[in-house]
Amino acid sequence: MAVEKSEKRSMPLPYAALVLAWLVPGAGHVYVGRLGRGVVIFVTVSALFWAGVGIGGVLTVDYYSERWWFAAEMLTGIHGLVGWYRQKAVYNRLPQMRGASLDEKLKNANLALVAPGETVARAYAGVAGLLNLLCIFDALMLSVMGVTGEQPPPRAPSGAAAAGRARP
Amino acid sequence: MIAALFYNPLPLSFETQLWLLLPLCLGVAIVYKAVRTHDLRRLPREVGFLMGYMVAGLIVLCVLVWLVVRYWP
C-alpha cells in the first residue's frame, strides 16, 4: 500500500510538465527526469531565440506588425516574454522619439529592422518557438504515459533469439 | 556593446544571410534529435547525420530552383 502511494506521488503531472516546458524550454524534460535532454534543449532554444534578437534587434518580437511570428516566438516561454516586454518598452517611448510616422521614428532611432536580416531574425526566433512546441508536446506525452527518467536503449536481438522467434 | 547588439539590428548582406542558414539547421537538428534519440551519448553523431541530410537537401533544392530559373522558357 505504502509502495503504491509513493509510486503515485512520483508520477509526473501532465499540466505541470506542460507549463514548465513552455515557461522554460527544456524544464519539462528535466521535470520528467531527463536532465541531459532538458539542458540540451534549453541551451539550443535559448541560443536560437537570442541569436534572432541579436540579428534583428529589439523589434524582432513585434506584436503589432508580425502576429504569426509573434505567436511562434511566444512559444519560447520566458524568452519570448522578455522579448515582448522589451518591444513594449520601445513602443512606450515612441512619443519621445523624433519623426512623423512610426517607421520614421524607428528609423531615426536605428531600431527599424534592416531588410535582409529581417527574415533571418524572425526565422531564428520563430523556429526556436516551434522547436520548443515539439519539446512541450514530448514532455507532455512522457508525463501522460508516466515515463520518468531515461529509458534503456532498445537492444538488437541476438542471433539465437532472433532465429528462435522466426521459427513457426 | 552587448546591450546595443540585442537592441539595434545588424546590417547583413545577402551573402551573410545565406550562411546563417547553417546554424539554424544545426539548432533544428540538435533539438529534434535531443527529443527523438534513445541514447543521449549518440546525440552528436545523429545530429551530424541529420545536419548532413538537411544541408544536402538544401543544396539539391537550390540546384533545382536555379535550373528552373535559368532554363524555364
Quote ipTM for the complex. Answer: 0.88
By Cβ distance, the residue of A58, A127, A138 closest to B35 is: A138
Closest approach of chain A CAs to the CA of B53, in angstroms?
A: 18
The answer to whether the Cβ–Cβ distance between A131 and B32 falls below 8 Å is yes
The predicted model gives A123-142 an average pLDDT of 95
Partner A contacted by B40 (CB < 8 A): yes
Q: Kindly list the distances between the CA atom of residue A42 and the CA atoms of A36, A53, A83, B27, in Å, as whole numbers in the listed order.
A: 10, 16, 16, 11
**Mean pLDDT score of chain A, rounded to an integer?**
84
Q: How far does Cα B59 stand from its chain's mean position?
A: 11
Report which of A60, A64, A67 is spatially closest to residue A128, judged by C-alpha positions: A60
pLDDT in tens, chain B (73 residues): 666 678 888 888 878 888 899 999 999 999 999 999 988 899 999 999 999 999 999 999 999 999 999 998 7
Buried b (16+ CB within 10 A) or exposed e, A94-118: eeeeeeeeeeebbeebebbbbebbb
Partner A contacted by B5 (CB < 8 A): yes
* Chain B, nearest residue to A38 by Cα: B34
Q: What does pTM read for this prediction?
A: 0.83
Report pLDDT digits (tens) over A66-114: 899 999 999 999 999 999 999 888 888 888 888 877 778 887 877 777 6
